[in-house]
């Protein structure tokens, strides 16, 4: 039985009710995420875009939250992390 995932206290983003299958754009590997995992994945990808396209707007809190999200994902679904984010 899978352990119950919890929304971290620091996460202020939207938590989706439904998940979906995500495709890694580099490898074309696919992985099905639940709603919370998809919320975290979107947060990670969105943060990455902001950091790359508008680095002068990035705050220390944004960097910390980004790393927290990666850690949360690694801990809560290591297999999906390896397929989609590693």
6-26 pLDDT per residue, tens: 999 999 999 999 999 999 999
In-domain check, residue 11: no
Residue 58 in domain: yes
| Domain presence at residue 26 | yes
Residue 69 lies in a domain: yes
Within a domain: 52: yes
Q: Does residue 71 sit within a domain?
A: yes
Number of domains in the chain: 1
Taking phi first (over 0 means left), then psi (-120 to 50 degrees means alpha), and beta for anything else, what does residue 33 get?
beta
Give the range of the structural domain holding residue 35, as residue numbers without chain letter.
20-84
Within a domain: 39 = yes
Helix (H) or strand (E) holding 30: strand 30-33
* pLDDT > 90? residue 59: yes
Q: What value does the mean pLDDT take over residues 38-67?
A: 96
Residues 55/39, Cβ–Cβ less than 8 Å: no
pLDDT over 70 (residue 53): yes
pTM: 0.92
User: Is residue 61 situated within a structural domain?
Assistant: yes
């Amino acid at each position: 039985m899978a352990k119950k995932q919890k929304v971290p206290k620091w996460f202020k983003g939207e938590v989706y009710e439904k998940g979906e299958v995500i495709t890694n754009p580099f490898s074309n590997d696919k992985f099905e995420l639940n709603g919370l995992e998809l919320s975290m994945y979107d947060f990670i990808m969105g943060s990455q875009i902001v950091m790359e396209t508008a680095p002068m707007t990035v705050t220390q809190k944004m960097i910390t939250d980004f790393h927290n999200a990666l850690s949360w994902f690694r801990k809560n679904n290591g297999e999906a992390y390896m397929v989609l984010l590693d």
